C-alpha cells in the first residue's frame, strides 16, 4: 500500500490530522488556501488571501466516522434528501474517500483527485482544483450491466456577512419546489432575499447564480455545467434549534446555494455511461 505522504507537495499540499483525528489535506496557492477532509472528500475551507472565508463551517459540527460534517461542501450521492432506513443525502458524505493524485499545475493551481471506495455498480471520482477560484468536478461512471439512476449535489454552505443583507440572482423565471410551503412555484424575484426558513429546489436550470454581499463588499459567483438543479437553503431560527450539529445563532452567517441533479433532474446512465458535473466558485469585489 502506498504511503499517502508521497502525495504531499512541499509548500502546496500537506496531509495533516484534522478535527476528531480525521485526516485532511491542507492546500496553499499564491491566491488562496483550502482544506479537504478524506471523510466525505469534504471541502471544509476555501479562502482567498485578503478576504473572509468563502465557505461557512458550523462550530457545532461533529467530526466523527459515520457522521456528516456540517458546513463546507458535502458531496451528495447517490440520493438527495431523506430515505427511510438509509443515511440522509446518501453514503458518500459519511465515507472515507481515497486521495489518489495531487498535482501542481503550470499556472500555480493545485489539483487533487479523490475516489469513492465501495460504490456499487459505479466508479465515482471527485476532482478539486484550488486557485484564485475553487473548481469541483464530480464524475460518475456506470460500471454495471444495467441502467443506473442517481442524484448528485454539491451542498455548498457559503459564509456571508448577514442573511438580511444578501441577495441571490440568476434564478428568475425558474420553477421550484418550495419544501417549506409544500408548493411548486415560479421564481418572480430578480434578486431573492431571505427573511425566514427557505428550502427550495429549482429545476431545469443551468444558470450561473450570484450572491451579492454588501457587508463583505463582495459577490460570490457559482458557475456550473451538467447541473440542472439549484437548491437554496437556510434553516432560520426554529430548525436551527432542532439541529444538534448546528449552532442556534449561526443561521444569519450562512446560506446554501447548491448545484446538483436531483428529483426530476436525476441522472440516468447506461452501462459504460459517464457523467461529470462541474462547479466553479469565485468571488469579486462589489463596485461601490
Could you tell me the CATH number of the domain that includes residue 267? 2.70.98.10
Residue-level pLDDT at 120? 85
Spatial separation of the C-alpha atoms in residues 46 and 52, rounded to whole Å: 9
Q: Catalytic residue, from 155, 187, 210, 250: name it.
A: 155
Q: What is the pTM of this model?
A: 0.96
Phi, psi at 48, each rounded to 5°: -75, 145
Q: Catalytic residue, from 210, 250, 258, 280: name it.
A: 258
Q: What is the mean pLDDT of residues 131-159?
A: 97
Spatial separation of the C-alpha atoms in residues 84 and 71, rounded to whole Å: 23
Residue-level pLDDT at 243? 95
246 contacts 240 by C-beta, under 8 angstroms = yes
Q: What is the mean pLDDT of residues 108-137?
A: 96
- Residue 220's pLDDT band (cuts 50, 70, 90): very high
Residue-level pLDDT at 84? 77
Q: Tell me, yes or no, if 155 is annotated catalytic.
A: yes
State how many domains the chain has: 1
Spatial separation of the C-alpha atoms in residues 154 and 176, rounded to whole Å: 18
Identify the sign of the CA torsion 86, 87, 91, 92.
positive
Kindly write down the DSSP assignment for every residue of the chain, as one continuous string.
---GGGG-BTTTEEEEE-GGG-EEEEEE-SSEEEEEETBTTEEEEEEETTS--SB-B-TT----TTS---BSB-EE-S--S-BTTB-TT-SGGGSB-EEEEEEE-TTS-EEEEEE-TT-TTEEEEEEEEESSSEEEEEEEEE-SSS-EEE-EEE-PEEE-S-TTT-EEES-TT-EEEETTTTEEEE---SEE--SS-EEEEEES----EEEEETTTTEEEEEEEES--EEEEEE-HHHHHHH-TTS-TT-GGGEEEEEEEE-GGG-EEE-TT-EEEEEEEEEEEEPP-
Q: Tell me, yes or no, if 258 is annotated catalytic.
A: yes
44 contacts 24 by C-beta, under 8 angstroms = yes
What mean pLDDT is reported for the chain? 96
Spatial separation of the C-alpha atoms in residues 190 and 195, rounded to whole Å: 16
Percent of the chain with pLDDT over 70: 98
Give every CB contact of residue 143 below 8 A, 6+ residues apart in sequence.
121, 122, 123, 271, 272
Residue 2 has pLDDT above 80, yes or no: no
pLDDT, tens digit, 9 for 90 and up, residues 18-75: 999 999 999 999 999 999 999 999 999 999 999 999 999 999 999 999 999 999 999 9
Domain with 206 in it: 4-285
Residue-level pLDDT at 81? 83
Spatial separation of the C-alpha atoms in residues 273 and 281, rounded to whole Å: 27
Neighbours of 169 (CB within 10 A): 16
Neighbours of 8 (CB within 10 A): 16
- Residue 138's pLDDT band (cuts 50, 70, 90): very high
187 contacts 177 by C-beta, under 8 angstroms = no
Residue-level pLDDT at 94? 96
Amino acid at each position: 500500500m502506498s504511503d499517502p505522504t508521497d502525495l504531499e507537495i512541499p509548500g502546496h499540499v500537506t496531509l495533516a490530522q484534522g478535527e476528531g483525528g480525521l485526516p485532511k489535506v491542507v492546500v496553499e496557492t499564491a491566491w488562496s488556501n483550502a482544506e479537504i477532509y478524506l471523510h466525505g472528500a469534504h471541502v471544509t475551507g476555501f479562502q482567498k488571501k485578503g478576504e473572509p472565508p468563502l465557505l461557512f463551517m458550523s462550530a457545532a459540527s461533529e467530526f466523527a466516522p459515520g457522521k456528516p460534517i456540517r458546513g463546507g461542501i458535502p458531496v451528495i450521492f447517490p440520493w438527495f434528501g431523506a430515505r427511510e432506513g438509509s443515511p440522509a443525502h446518501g453514503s458518500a458524505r459519511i465515507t472515507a474517500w481515497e486521495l489518489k493524485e495531487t498535482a501542481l499545475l503550470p499556472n500555480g493551481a493545485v489539483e487533487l483527485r479523490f475516489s469513492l471506495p465501495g460504490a456499487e455498480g459505479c466508479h465515482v471520482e471527485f476532482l478539486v482544483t484550488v486557485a484564485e477560484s475553487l473548481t469541483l468536478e464530480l464524475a460518475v461512471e456506470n460500471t454495471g450491466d444495467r441502467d443506473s439512476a442517481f442524484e448528485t449535489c454539491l451542498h455548498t454552505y457559503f459564509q456571508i456577512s448577514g442573511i438580511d443583507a444578501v441577495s441571490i440572482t440568476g434564478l428568475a423565471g425558474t420553477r421550484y419546489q418550495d419544501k417549506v410551503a409544500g408548493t411548486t412555484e415560479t421564481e418572480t424575484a430578480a434578486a431573492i432575499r431571505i427573511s425566514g426558513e427557505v428550502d427550495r429546489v429549482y429545476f431545469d436550470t443551468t444558470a450561473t447564480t450570484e450572491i451579492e454581499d454588501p457587508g463583505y463588499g463582495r459577490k460570490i459567483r457559482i458557475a456550473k455545467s451538467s447541473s440542472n438543479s439549484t437548491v437554496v437553503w437556510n434553516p432560520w431560527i426554529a430548525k436551527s434549534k432542532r439541529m444538534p450539529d448546528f449552532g442556534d445563532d449561526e443561521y444569519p452567517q450562512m446560506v446554501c446555494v447548491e448545484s446538483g441533479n436531483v428529483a426530476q433532474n436525476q441522472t440516468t446512465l447506461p452501462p459504460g455511461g459517464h457523467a461529470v458535473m462541474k462547479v466553479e466558485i469565485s468571488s469579486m469585489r462589489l463596485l461601490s
